[in-house]
Amino acid sequence: MKNQPIGFLDSGVGGLTVVKEVMKRLPNEQIYYIGDSARNPYGPRPLEEVKEFTLQLAEFLVERGIKLLVIACNTATVAALEVLENELPVPVIGVIESGSKAAVEVSRNKNIGVIGTEGTIRSHDYEHQISNLLKDAKIQSVACPRFVSIVEKHQYQDDLAKQVVSEELSPFEGSKIDTLVLGCTHYPLLQTIIQNHFGRDLTLVDPGVET
C-alpha cells in the first residue's frame, strides 16, 4: 500500500492547487489526478448531479489502485464526501473541514468571510462547520461564480480578472471580516488579486493548504 498513489479529483484544474502543496510536503508520493474539464463547472449544477459525477471520478481512481482519495474540490466535498466515506474501500479526505478549522484559528475579530461556488455557498456547509467550532462567529458567505471560468481559461493574470474580482467581491464592501476562506480550489490562483482588493489586514485561508 505504501507505494500506491494518492488520488485527487476536481472539476478541472483547481485541484492542482492542492496537489502542489502535497508535492511540496510529500515529495515521494505518487499522484493520480483527474480534472473533469469536460463537465466543468460543477458550481452551478444541482448537488445530486455533482454527486453522481464525483462518484464516477472516484471509482475511476479506485480502479487504478489509489490508497487514499482527496476530494480537491469544495463543491464535490459538499455533494459527495459522506457517500464516498461510506462506500469507498479507501480513506477519503475533503477540503471543507480543514478550511473551517484554519479560519477559526486565524480570525481575531470572529468576522469570517467565505467565498465559493454557488453549490458550496448554497449548502451552508462552511457556515455550519465554522459556527460549530466558534459559536459567536459572524460569517458572510458570497458566491463568486465567475472566478472558475477565468481560471479554467488561464485569464487569471489579466486585467479582466482584476475587474471580475472587484465586482464579485463588492458584497464585502464595508464588512468587518478579517479572514476570508477561499472556498473553491480554483480561487488560490486569484489569491494575489484578491489580497490586493482587500489590502494586507485581511488574512486569506486556503483550505487546500490546510488539507
Q: Does 11 bind ligand DGL (CB under 6 A)?
A: yes
Closest CA to 9 of 64, 65, 67, 77: 77
Catalytic residue among 137, 150, 169, 184: 184
Tell me how many residues contact ligand DGL (CB under 6 A). Answer: 17
Catalytic residue among 9, 13, 16, 73: 73
> What string marks each residue from 29 to 68 as x (binds ligand DGL by CB under 6 A) or -?
-----------xxxx-------------------------
Question: The C-alpha cell of 127 is what?
Answer: 457556515
Closest CA to 185 of 20, 2, 6: 20
Question: The C-alpha cell of 140 is what?
Answer: 458572510
- Which residues inside 121-160 make contact with ligand DGL, applying CB under 6 A? 148
Q: Candidates 20-28, 71-79, 153-161, 173-181 — which segment interacts with ligand DGL by CB under 6 A? A: 71-79
Instruction: Give catalytic status of residue 73 as yes or no.
Output: yes
Find the length of the chain: 211
Instruction: Give catalytic status of residue 144 as yes or no.
Output: no
Nearer of residues 203 and 211 to ligand DGL, judged by Cβ: 211
Side chain identity at residue 25, one-letter code: R
Cα separation values, 119 from 44, 56, 70, 106, 116, Å: 6, 19, 19, 25, 8
List the catalytic residues.
73, 184
